[in-house]
Amino acid sequence: MLWLGGALGVLAIPLYALGYCAAARMLLDKGETPGAAGAARIVGIAGSVAAIVGAMIHGLTTAYLASEVTAGAPGRDPLAAITQGSPLLVASWAVAVALVSCASVAFAWCVGRGGSRLPKRLAWTNPALVTVLLMLIGLPVPLLRAFLTPAAPNLAHAVFFAALARRRPDD
């Protein structure tokens, strides 16, 4: 199951780029408002690159966890496993966090200040903020820490893309 989940993530996470490009286009629906074009470029580019890095992270994490299972290592906290993993995995996470943060801040700034046709409330659905909230919910409870916290970035993107897809046409 580990390899199946890993393969599905590696194949699906690059599709986040389509969602980020759609979000970038939505920022420009109102026309050229000050800063909207720059925010749209940041959302589209940073989000798309983050999608590729995210797929790499998913593959590296799968390989790392599989090697631990094969070696008979006892299960441990997922966050500790990642932070104590390979330097490439840790560096990839740092790059992904920076990219998603840039895309999220640009999106939230543009939407929150009324620089797009999107309702201002959608500024709060940005992936960085939702990821942090989900992780904070999961950290105190061991079962949630084992499942919700590692899945938080993917779930946050699902929330973000679903919120954008569900916006009303008159918004």
Average pLDDT score over residue span 21-45:
88
- Average pLDDT of the chain to the nearest whole number: 89
| Sign of CA pseudo-dihedral 16, 143, 139, 73 | negative
C-alpha 61/C-alpha 93 separation (Å) is 10
CA gap 27, 122 in Å, rounded: 11
Specify whether the CB–CB gap between 164 and 26 falls below 8 A.
yes
Please, how many CA atoms are within 13 Å of residue 155, restricted to the half-sphere of its CB?
Answer: 15
- The torsion defined by the Cα of 134, 54, 95 and 120, in degrees rounded to 10, comes to -50
Model confidence over 93-114: pLDDT tens digits?
Answer: 999 999 999 999 999 999 999 8
pLDDT band at 169 (very low <50, low <70, confident <90, very high): very low
- For tokens 């201002």, name the residue: 120
68-89: pLDDT as tens digits = 778 776 666 666 766 776 888 8
CA within 13 Å, CB half, 28:
13
Between CA 92 and CA 60 the distance in angstroms is 9
Q: Do 86 and 64 meet the contact criterion of CB atoms below 8 Å apart?
A: yes
